[in-house]
């Protein structure tokens, strides 16, 4: 069992302020699920889209919503995280605050959930925190919580590829892709480059050693033709 406060423990970090919640003990379980993309055709699929849009109309920016429709939504459920010690209440309060919408562009009246990173070992996801359930299970004699079990539900944020500026040092022509569902690198290579053997170029561009261990929700860089000589 890890030592409370160990730097190797899982943590959530807010990207725009660097506020962080480091888990005192690592999760008992992490469950990753993926919701299929929304249909854009007319008929029954279109009706379901309407239902989903009405329930989530204020939950994301329009550009992010369009990417989510195309790729689906990857959810990460983190179960039974134990918090103890003097930072317990502060950490739980911070987690709850991250489920509140913030202004993104006041002039355009756009709001979104804070952007976070979930980090544990080699796992690194860009996410929103959509649900927090806190069970205070032990208290001091004065009623102060001294132990809590916390369940978290995160939604992976789809990245929106933007134009690459060669003068910025980035690689010209590179695109990004959010790996979803049961996608594999060979299948992605076939769809993108016309053959499954090109998975090696994708793996090399992303520092991937084992293509079978790439998880849904992973943001991949797709190398351009100039990079691999196609």
Q: Parallel, antiparallel, or unpaired: how do β-strands 110-112 and 123-139 relate? A: unpaired
> What pLDDT, in 10s, does the model give residues 85-143?
889 999 999 999 999 988 665 554 567 889 999 988 877 888 999 999 999 999 999 99
Domain count, the chain: 2
2 in a domain, yes or no? no
Q: Are residues 138 and 171 both part of a single domain?
A: no
218 in a domain, yes or no? yes
Q: Smallest Cα–Cα separation from 77: which of 122, 37, 116, 133?
A: 133
pTM of the prediction?
Answer: 0.56
Domain that holds residue 221: 166-228
Which residue bears the tokens 């989530």?
A: 56
> What pLDDT, in 10s, does the model give residues 199-226?
888 888 877 877 777 877 787 888 875 5
Show which of 156, 188, 205 is a domain's final residue.
Answer: 156
């Amino acid at each position: 069992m890890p030592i409370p406060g160990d730097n190797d423990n899982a943590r959530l970090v807010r990207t725009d302020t660097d506020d962080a919640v480091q888990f005192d003990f690592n999760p008992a379980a992490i469950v990753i699920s993926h919701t299929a993309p929304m249909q854009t055709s007319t008929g029954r699929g279109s009706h379901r889209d309407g239902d989903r849009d009405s329930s989530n109309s204020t939950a994301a920016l329009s550009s992010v919503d369009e990417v989510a429709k195309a790729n689906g939504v990857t959810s990460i459920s983190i179960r039974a995280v134990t918090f103890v010690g003097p930072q317990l209440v502060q950490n739980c309060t911070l987690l709850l605050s991250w489920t509140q919408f913030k202004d993104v562009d006041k002039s355009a009246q756009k709001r979104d959930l804070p952007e976070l990173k979930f980090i544990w070992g080699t796992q690194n996801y860009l996410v929103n925190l959509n649900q927090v359930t806190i069970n205070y299970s032990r208290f001091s004699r004065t009623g102060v919580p001294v132990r809590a079990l916390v369940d978290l539900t995160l939604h992976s944020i789809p990245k929106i590829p933007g134009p690459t500026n060669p003068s910025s040092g980035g690689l010209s022509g590179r695109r990004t892709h959010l790996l979803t569902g049961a996608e594999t690198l060979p299948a992605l290579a076939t769809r993108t480059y016309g053959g499954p053997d090109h998975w090696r170029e994708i793996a090399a561009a992303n520092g991937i050693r084992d293509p079978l261990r790439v998880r849904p929700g992973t943001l991949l860089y797709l190398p351009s033709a100039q990079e691999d000589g196609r």
